[in-house]
Amino acid sequence: MKTKRKSARSAHVTEGSGNVFADLGLPNADQELLKARLTLQIYCIIKDRGITQAEAGKILGISQPHVSALVRNRSGNFSLGRLIDFLTALGQDVEITVRPTRKDHGQMSVVLA
C-alpha cells in the first residue's frame, strides 16, 4: 500500500455546497446552476445527434457563433426561458414542477429522464 508524503505546506480543503456558483459567492447562484445544467443537456443532445453547430443554429434559430458559445457552457447571454425553448426545438419535453418546500426558501433543480 502506498502512502502519500506530506508536503511542507498543507493544503486547506473546504467541501463544496454542490453549487459552485454559490461557493464563489456569485449572485443568482441557483439560476446560474440551473442554466449550466440546461446548457449541458443541450450540448449532449447536439453531440449525440452528431449535428454541426451550423445545423444546430438552424434548429435553435441562432447563429453558429452563438451555438459555439452555448456548447462551451457560455449560457450567460441566454435566459432560462430561451434555454427551455432550445430544448423543445431539439425535440425535448420540458416539465416545470412547483411544490411547497419544508425550508424557509425553495430551490431550483433539473431532473433528467
pLDDT digits (tens, 9 = 90+) for 62-94: 999 999 999 888 766 899 999 999 999 999 999
Confidence (pTM): 0.77
Domains present along the chain, CATH in parentheses = 25-89 (1.10.260.40)
Collect all residues with Cβ–Cβ distance below 8 Å to 76 and sequence separation of at least 6.
35
Instruction: Copy the grid coordinates of residue 45.
Output: 443532445
Enter the DSSP assignment of 101.
Answer: -
Choice between 14 and 91, residue whose per-residue pLDDT is larger = 91
Q: Angle 29-49/64-71 helices, nearest 10 degrees?
A: 110
pLDDT at residue 29 greater than cutoff 60: yes
